[in-house]
Amino acid sequence: MRILVIHGPNLNLLGIREPEVYGKTTLQEINRSLRARGEEIGAAISDFQSNHEGDIVDRIQAAALDIPRADGIILNPAGYTHTSVAIRDALTAVSLPTWEIHISDPSKREKFRHVSLVRDICVGCTAGRGSGGYIEALDGLVAHLNSGGEASS
């Protein structure tokens, strides 16, 4: 099983960016823990981070078109959660099961963060669980895939 983890804008600054909101765990530490958990449960993890919307769209498309194809995506769209129709459209186009993840809980933050443009096309969402939420997202997506779950739209 192959899982692509996509980290959106500013997540490369985890560990130093607003630690009171996002904690002190770095993106590299999150990716290491995901790879370790993936080994335990039989999932190969690849990760990608970009501050650029078009790069994220390109990577989503490549996950479905390149060989080997990803079986599912874990996506933290970060600030694009609330604004990116393009990322939503890419997810819909590729029909790969996708799990939305947020370190903080957007519903408990500023009002503009309460809307997710991708939530309704994802097979699950983990929010407000800190960096450990990524492991919950991986476990949830793998359970979904193992139960025969397929297209996310």
Strand partners, 125: 100
- 118 burial class (0-12, 13-18, 19+ CB within 10 angstroms)? buried
Omega of the bond prior to 68 within 30 degrees of 0, cis?
Answer: yes
* Whole-number Å distance between alpha carbons of 40 and 22: 26
Hey, what domains does the chain have and what are their CATH numbers?
A: 2-146 (3.40.50.9100)
Confidence of residue 149 (pLDDT cuts 50, 70, 90): confident
Short-list 75, 52, 67, CA closest to 2 = 67
Q: Is the pLDDT of residue 97 over 80?
A: yes
Residue 9 has pLDDT above 60, yes or no: yes
Q: Is 124:75 a contact under the CB 8 Å cutoff?
A: no
Strands 44-49 and 72-76: unpaired
Which residue, chain included where needed, has tokens 């981070």? Answer: 49
Q: What is the pLDDT of residue 21?
A: 77
pLDDT at position 19: 84
Tell me if the pTM is above 0.85: yes
Percent of the chain scored above 90 by pLDDT?
A: 81
In the chain, which ranges are continuous DSSP H helix?
A: 19-22, 27-41, 53-65, 85-94, 133-146
For residues 68 and 64, what is the distance between their CA atoms, to the nearest angstrom? 9
Residue positions annotated with a catalytic role: 22, 102
* pLDDT tens digits along 56-79: 999 999 999 988 899 999 999 999
